[in-house]
Amino acid sequence: MHRVATIAAIVDQHAEDAAFLWLRRRREIDGSILDETDIGRIDQRLDANIEGLMAAGKAGWDAAQARFTDYAEPGELFALGTLALHWGDAELIAVAIDAAASLGEAGLSSLSAAVARTPREKLRPFVAKWLDTRDAPQRCLGLSALWHHRVDPGPRLHDLANHSDARVRSRAVRLAGALKRRDLLPAVLAGLDGETSKERLTAALACCLLGETRSAHPVVDKIVLTEPGLAEAAIEIRLLTTATKAGKGWLQKHLEQPALRGLATASIGLFGDRAVMPWLIEKMREPELAGAAGAALRDLFEVDFGDTDLFVADPAVLGKEFADLDDTSLPAAERVEAWWDEGRGGRHQRPFRSMRRLRLDALRAAFATADAPLADWRATRRFPAWM
């Protein structure tokens, strides 16, 4: 690590901005608001700040480390890990791994994101060591590298998918599903009885990717009913892997359950059936369902609703029932109805494929084709800074 003359305030700003921009990216990367171009612009700013820290050499590392000391948060850890991995310094990487341990699963997630932004050739000296160590978090980091860069580790994945640590097993099973490793189906099926509901859901998704939906659906259905924090993801898997007619019947039952009405309403757009629009507009008039109806609307149309006036946070527009609104942007039913009646929605607007749409399309393609691996939908589009 070199030493160069630097301006401390500027280096510190790079460290702060890198953490902030990554947190924003993480919040939006699979969402329905931004597309690959929008995320690409965030990436350009994020890369510029990381490059600023790297150019500062030791001062850049010290700034990132000092910020993590003051704010031991995922964004600060991401910046620290990214610098260590890009420099390929084993001692610095060990510091980042130790720092991650203090944040638990959130720390692993942050380092996983740093791994995703590191070129393969810089990771190559470390991944095999991570996979061979007895330290479970480092094995998780190695599996994250394989996942982000879609690399098949061959026979080694069998042992990892049967590992004693649930975190390792779950990541190995996820990779087996994405790579369509049917030879690992016994380990994937075993994951359906995993220690945690999150491990079971990961195994269920991998089962579906490997064509074993019949085995996965009972597990998914139970998670929908018993695990509120995972119900949204479980409903999504269920609907994407169920024939349309049967899926609508399944969802209708959950629309009738008060605890699941919101999630079921938000998921109705996954069918792509715009005949539901009149019903959906009525739900937009109900404060407790308006947000869910808006989510379904975004799934139904490849439209950048940021270029319209359909989503607002003004109770005066939404109606007196929304007087207690807390600055949340919701669909204005009257405006959506007029937009729908005038042109059946989005007919004259440029196609917009959000990051969520890209993710759903990748899943649909992988579910539909037996041998097709799950594509990396998180690739972004870059432009020159002046555009």
**How far is residue 106's CA from residue 375's CA, in Å, rounded to a whole number?**
24
Last residue of a domain, one of 224, 241, 258: 241
Summarised one tens digit per residue, pLDDT across range 139-178 is: 999 999 999 999 999 999 999 999 999 999 999 999 999 9
pLDDT for the residue numbered 5 = 46
Kindly indicate the confidence band of residue 314, based on its pLDDT and cuts at 50, 70 and 90.
confident
**Do 65 and 7 reside in the same domain of the chain?**
yes
**Do 165 and 211 reside in the same domain of the chain?**
yes
**Do 7 and 106 reside in the same domain of the chain?**
yes
The answer to whether residue 140 is domain-embedded is no
**Do 7 and 90 reside in the same domain of the chain?**
yes
**Do 227 and 283 reside in the same domain of the chain?**
no
**Do 213 and 260 reside in the same domain of the chain?**
no
**Do 325 and 255 reside in the same domain of the chain?**
yes
**Do 171 and 191 reside in the same domain of the chain?**
yes
Contact 157, 184 (CB under 8 A): yes
Query: Residue 269 above 90 pLDDT?
Result: yes
pLDDT for the residue numbered 383 = 61
The answer to whether residue 25 is domain-embedded is yes
Summarised one tens digit per residue, pLDDT across range 179-211 is: 999 999 999 999 999 999 999 999 999 999 999
pLDDT for the residue numbered 345 = 66
Q: How many domains does the chain have?
A: 3
The answer to whether residue 128 is domain-embedded is no
Q: Across all residues in the chain, what is the average pLDDT?
A: 93
The closest alpha carbon to 374, from 361, 356, 355, 357, belongs to 361
**Do 43 and 104 reside in the same domain of the chain?**
yes
pLDDT for the residue numbered 318 = 87
**Do 227 and 321 reside in the same domain of the chain?**
no
Query: Residue 363 above 90 pLDDT?
Result: yes
Query: Residue 294 above 50 pLDDT?
Result: yes
Query: Residue 343 above 80 pLDDT?
Result: no
Summarised one tens digit per residue, pLDDT across range 218-258 is: 999 999 999 999 999 999 999 999 999 999 999 999 999 99
pLDDT for the residue numbered 65 = 96
* 374 phi-psi bin (left φ>0, alpha ψ -120 to 50, beta other): beta
Indicate which CATH number applies to the domain containing 197. Answer: 1.25.10
Tokens of 98: 């130790």
**Do 114 and 36 reside in the same domain of the chain?**
yes
- In which residue are the tokens 């638990």 written? 104
Give the domain range for residue 303: 248-345+353-362
Contact 167, 142 (CB under 8 A): no
**Do 180 and 113 reside in the same domain of the chain?**
no
pLDDT for the residue numbered 324 = 80
Last residue of a domain, one of 77, 93, 118: 118
- Please, where are the H alpha helices in 179-286? 185-190, 197-209, 213-226, 228-240, 244-255, 261-267, 277-283
Average pLDDT over residues 336-353: 82
